[in-house]
Structure 1
Amino acid sequence: MLTLTDNATAIVTTLVSRQNDAPDAGLRIHSTEAPGADGARLAVLVTADPEPEDQVVEIAGTRLFLDETAVSALDDKILDAGVDEEGSVSFAVLPQVA
């Protein structure tokens, strides 16, 4: 199952609260049209509600909405996030260590 680093949890929570004031808002992780060279190409979007077919994952109060491709791609991964000097957020998908 997907896990988040503490840093990713804090960044996602901040992103969602700044971009959407809906009580059940979350970060939607979904596939894009063109797959990446090394697997699924994923995008993120802050949204008030999940799509009907999304899997809702709540980790430490942080809500993620994952489409079918994201569920498969992230099932055994760790999501990390960072903010650069200009305020841009980037996400990294890391393998879970057994």
Structure 2
Amino acid sequence: MLTMTENASTLVRTITDQSVGTTEGGLRISQAESTTDFAVDVVPAPEAADQIVEREGARVFLEENAATALSDRILDAQLDENNAVRFSLGLPA
């Protein structure tokens, strides 16, 4: 199952609090079947079949294809020099 670093959970929680304003909201990661690209959206609630990953109040919703593709990954996040959020996916050490 996807895990989040402390940085990722802090930034996901901040983004969803500012964008959605409810504790039910989160960051949704999806992947179309014919591609390796992921789409990331801030949403007010998960879809019925989404896998939910939570850490310290941060919620990430994974649609089925993304959940499979990211099952062994770690989500990290950093702010760049322009204060834009940069997400990255890594493998456990």
| Structures share fold, TM-score greater than 0.5 | yes
What fraction of aligned residue pairs are identical, expressed as a percent? 42
Note if contact 2:17-2:23 (Cα within 8 Å) is conserved in structure 1: no
The aligned residue for residue 30 of structure 2 is: 30
How many Å separate the matches in 2 of 1:48 and 1:12?
Answer: 13
Note if contact 2:3-2:53 (Cα within 8 Å) is conserved in structure 1: no
Where structure 2 has 5 or more consecutive residues not aligned to the other structure, the ranges are: none
CA displacement, residues 39-96 of structure 1 (integer Å, 9 cap, x when unaligned): x211211111111221122122211110011101111111011111222111110001
How many Å separate the matches in 2 of 1:96 and 1:67?
Answer: 21
The aligned residue for residue 81 of structure 2 is: 85
Aligned-partner residue type, residue 17 of structure 1: D
Q: How does 1:1-98 map to 2 (within 5 A)?
A: 1-32=1-32, 35=35, 40-97=36-93
CA deviation after TM superposition for structure 1 residue 26, in Å: 0.8
Q: Provide TM-score, normalisation by structure 2.
A: 0.89
- Relative distance call for 1:23 and 1:5 in structure 2 (3 A) is closer
Note if contact 1:34-1:41 (Cα within 8 Å) is conserved in structure 2: no
How many Å separate the matches in 1 of 2:33 and 2:63?
Answer: 13
Where structure 1 has 5 or more consecutive residues not aligned to the other structure, the ranges are: none
Note if contact 2:74-2:91 (Cα within 8 Å) is conserved in structure 1: yes
Paired residues in the alignment total 93
Alignment RMSD: 1.5
How many Å separate the matches in 1 of 2:71 and 2:56?
Answer: 17
Q: Provide TM-score, normalisation by structure 1.
A: 0.85
CA deviation after TM superposition for structure 1 residue 17, in Å: 0.6
